[in-house]
Amino acid sequence: MSNRGLEGVVVADTELSKIYGEEGRLVYRGYEIEDLAENATFEEVCYLLLYGELPNSAQLTDFRRQLESERTVPGAVLDLLRLLPRDTHPMAALRTAASALAGFDPDARDMTEEANFRKAIRLTAQMPTLTAAWGRIRNGQEPIAPRDGLGHAANFLYMLTGETPDELRARTMDVAFTLHAEHGMNASTFAARVTVATLADMHSGLTSAIGTLKGPLHGGANERVMHMLLEIGEPDRAEAWVRDALARGERIMGFGHRVYRALDPRAPILRSLAMQLAAQGGDTRWLDIASRIESVMREEMDRRGKKIYPNVDFYSASVYYTLGIPTDMFTNVFAMARTPGWTAHMIEQLRDNRLIRPKANYVGPLDKKVQPIEKRG
Ligand code: ACO
């Protein structure tokens, strides 16, 4: 018998994060996610994931400077983006561009740990630049160069929209990045670790991870959540919409999780940010629809005896929409936030590497003989 979906299989020891599925609790290197979201910036969380401890003031200043200095991407990679058809999905564009970066990275082939740390910082810095550039190039606009002095999150919004975000918007983006930075042995992290375990380079691991994150059962869910909210359109239509979809046997995007059997702890943090943004903009429509969906789902799942709760994507969707991020770029936001987690996992994998090579249970036929081609049906 195969273990479908590798559920419950432990494939590595990690010091990066722990998920308490039954309690709905998430810890990065010993720190509760709520504590980090409230009291640390994304840059501090990146440092924590990569180096194992929060930075002191001098270390943070230096780390921020390193990230800032690595934001610019080679002009040739922007030219490559210009060659893509304009309707290329932003995750496909990001996957292609991230892979192409390898050709220009002075450390691409250097697999020493020092070089891998440099690449981890560089790739974390470059992912928002690539995403924002594609957001503009596909509309026939010139990419906006990164701006020194802006934090990682604020700079992304600036490069994407051309406007410097106010404090609430910058902080919201920053917290959303922190919430997505790391999450145990999820599918994309596993893909990254499998790739570098063959001793392929970090850009290959990153490219595998981006491709894996793209799917709607993983990172692609946040985009689908927004489609659902837009399709429902009005709070009063939410209940019937959800009940009809469930009756057709469909899954409601933004609900359910392989590991959490309780509320995903990231969801209420995003809900609170969504409320602050809605209060600032005076529009609670998406929140109202979301809370109606949540209550119908609670009722339906209780009736069916299933522990299905909102996950991180449920509230990230309306937050990103309100921040002016195009819906089809939501998964890119996830990818840029997860880059420190992915790269830290790759470094951890390589410290104590063993090729990851599970087995398959062959269930096909046996004892067949090759027939001459003219005798085959
Ligand atoms: N809506 C309705 N029913 C659901 C949902 C959902 N979103 N998720 C799971 N269920 C039901 C399944 O139909 C299944 O029912 P059954 O036992 O009667 O067949 C049961 O709950 C268990 O579901 P599984 O598919 O076995 O759970 P699994 O651990 O494989 O899947 C997954 C987890 C893929 C996340 C699933 O919950 C899902 O498809 N959710 C919607 C997509 C989504 O939001 N993905 C984002 C995940 S978080 C992230 O990647 C950041």
* Distance from the alpha carbon of residue 217 to the mean position of ligand 1, in angstroms: 8
pLDDT of residue 274: 94
What one-letter code names the amino acid at 289?
I
State the catalytic residue, choosing from 174, 257, 264, 345: 257
**Best residue among 212, 213, 255 to mutate for probing ligand 1, ranked by most atoms within 8 Å of CB:** 255
**Which pLDDT score, from 0 to 100, does residue 369 have?**
97
- Report pLDDT for 104: 98
pLDDT at 2: 83
pLDDT score of 34:
98
Edge-to-edge strand list for the sheet holding 17-20? 17-20, 25-28, 31-32
Ligand 1 centroid–CA 18 distance in Å is: 21
Spell out which residues line ligand 1, taking CB within 6 angstroms. Answer: 5, 217-219, 221, 251-258, 306, 308, 311-313
Q: Which member of 218, 288, 328, 352 is catalytic? A: 218
Alpha helices, H only, the chain: 33-39, 42-51, 57-69, 75-83, 90-101, 113-137, 152-161, 167-180, 187-197, 202-213, 221-232, 238-247, 266-281, 285-304, 312-322, 330-351
pTM across the whole model? 0.95
Average pLDDT per 10 consecutive residues for the chain, totaling 377 residues:
90 97 97 98 98 98 98 98 98 98 97 98 98 98 97 98 97 98 98 98 98 94 94 97 96 94 94 94 93 96 94 93 96 98 98 96 97 95
Nearest CA to ligand 1 atom 15: 306
User: How far apart are the CA of 255 and the centre of ligand 1, in A?
Assistant: 7
Hey, whose CA ends up nearest to atom 37 of ligand 1? 256
Mutating to test ligand 1, I would choose from 26, 250, 257 the residue with most ligand atoms within 8 A of its C-beta, which is 257
How confident is the model at residue 239, as a pLDDT? 97
Q: Is 313 a catalytic residue?
A: yes
Give the pLDDT of residue 140.
Answer: 97
> Among candidates 289, 313, 314, 291, which has minimal Cα distance to 229?
289
Task: Give 132 Cα–ligand 1 centroid separation in angstroms.
Answer: 31
Is 367 annotated as catalytic? no
pLDDT at position 174, please? 98
